[in-house]
Amino acid sequence: MSVEAREEENLTEVMEQLERSLTKGQIQLVSVGVLLPYVLYVTPVLNLYLEDMIEQVHDMVKNIPEVRMSRYYQPMQWLPHITLGKKLSKEQMQEAFRSGWRRPIHIRIL
């Protein structure tokens, strides 16, 4: 999720509320992707847990006047991903792929 805020206090308060309200869940990371020139990310399977999470986050953040949420991260327009590296060098990108992911990774969110 990408959120832009001018007043940190308001966003911090909402993030603390979210921390208390979000439930535990599981995600499965299944692929590695690249945004050229040098961004590396992994994608999870989009499941009900992730769909519910983005709905909760969006509902809480959308009402803060000075906060802007990119349209690419709103419900039903969201490609779930975890950015692993930004502005990596060519060598760092090559090393990331050499180290390889042989199978899906299961993550439990507590």
Helical spans, DSSP H, in 24-89: 48-61
- What is the distance between the alpha carbons of residues 62 and 83, in angstroms, rounded to a whole number? 23
Residue-wise pLDDT for 28-52, tens only, equals 888 888 888 888 888 898 899 988 8
Mean model confidence pLDDT for the chain: 81
Domain ranges of the chain: 3-109
Question: Could you give the percent of the chain with pLDDT greater than 90?
Answer: 2
Longest CA–CA separation in the chain, Å: 45
pTM for the whole structure: 0.68
DSSP helix/strand/coil, 45: coil
DSSP 8-state class, residue 36: T
Residue 92 has pLDDT above 70, yes or no: yes
C-alpha span between 22 and 79 (Å, rounded)? 20
**Cβ–Cβ contacts within 10 Å for residue 44, how many?**
20
CB-based contact 1:75 (threshold 8 Å): no
pLDDT confidence of residue 109:
66
Class for domain 3-109, per CATH? alpha beta
